[in-house]
Amino acid sequence: MKPTFATAPGKVILFGEHAVVYGRPAIAVPVTQVRALARVEPAARGAGLTFVAVNLERRYALAEARRDDPLAEIVRRVLVHLKRTRAPDAVVTLDSSIPIAGGMGSGAACSTAIARALSAYLNRGRPLDDDTINDLVYQVEKLHHGTPSGIDNTVIAYNRLVYFKRGELIQTFNVPAPFQLAVADTGIRSPTKIAVGDVRKAWEAEPARYERLFDSIGTLAHDARLALEEGAVDKLGWLMHTNHVLLRQIGVSCPELDALAEAAEAAGSAGAKLSGGGRGGNLIALVNAANVDLVKEALLRAGAKSVMVTMVGEGERG
């Protein structure tokens, strides 16, 4: 069989994280500067399937993987879907530049890349379609994140900007006026499952307060969609700033993220917010040609471990 490979992008959530778990809308975009890359190549007859996880510097056999190993989980699901009773004799190599547990969808991107490369390997170069990949990746996300909304696998499997509401058809839209975001990494790895679990406990303790906060976040995501569709980038900064304030109120920010948000805005960003599960991971700040260098410098001075600048709206499929 011929070697195959596939890649999947990272993502950032522009608006609506956490509230999206409770049925409110959210907006997410792929970030193609960071990627997961999976490669499948033949191994000796009888060798079984072996993983090489480059970032973790690990090599292990599928047959010896722990039951909850995420790479093994996606492989098993692809095999079941393709009605294969045994794994091929192959090496599956995974290499990713997406920070792990950094709110950029690393888990969903790794699963997506593996599902595409492996299904293409077993199917004469033809990978499974996006809908099926999305569904299989969501099944794995559920094992590791408890109650995921499904936004990560959706934005990554379809590789397009999405307006996502749980249980509804995926909506996408065009962004006529592209804009730049600085994505600053706190360097703090914070598993999404823990933040999502803590929000659930807080919501159970104070349902009315949390429902109000989720409603406010959902309204921001709705208003942001209108602003993006109109090309009214000037309205986005305030919406992002307000979304961050609400995320602080639901308890998923941390001093490091707040310091980065403050520093970005003081250096000229029209608005900044945490992105993803929070408590660490990444902060996104709206920037433009006039302030991008100043904001980048300010973020690094305020403790960011790295800052990447990405463009939203260019080449979106509508």
Chain-centre distance of CA 158, in angstroms?
Answer: 12
DSSP at 117: H
Residue by residue, DSSP assigns 293-309 as HHHHHHHHHTT-SEEEE
| Residue 38 neighbours by CB distance under 10 Å | 29
C-beta of 105: minimal distance to ligand PMV in Å?
5
Judged by beta carbon, residue 21 or residue 170, the one nearer ligand PMV is 21
C-beta of 125: minimal distance to ligand PMV in Å?
31
Distance of alpha carbon 185 from alpha carbon 22, whole angstroms: 26
B/e letters for 96-130, b = 16+ CB within 10 Å, e = fewer, are bebbebbbbbbbbbbbbbbbbbbbbbbeeeebbeb
Judged by beta carbon, residue 88 or residue 141, the one nearer ligand PMV is 141
C-beta of 79: minimal distance to ligand PMV in Å?
26
Distance of alpha carbon 102 from alpha carbon 277, whole angstroms: 8
Judged by beta carbon, residue 116 or residue 279, the one nearer ligand PMV is 279
C-beta of 277: minimal distance to ligand PMV in Å?
3
C-beta of 46: minimal distance to ligand PMV in Å?
38
- Cβ atoms of 270 and 286 within 8 Å: the answer is yes
Q: Which residue has the tokens 């490091």?
A: 256
Judged by beta carbon, residue 107 or residue 237, the one nearer ligand PMV is 107
C-beta of 252: minimal distance to ligand PMV in Å?
8
Judged by beta carbon, residue 116 or residue 165, the one nearer ligand PMV is 165
Judged by beta carbon, residue 70 or residue 276, the one nearer ligand PMV is 276
Binding-site ranges for ligand PMV (CB under 6 A):
13, 17-18, 20-21, 103-105, 145, 148-149, 151-152, 192, 196, 276-277
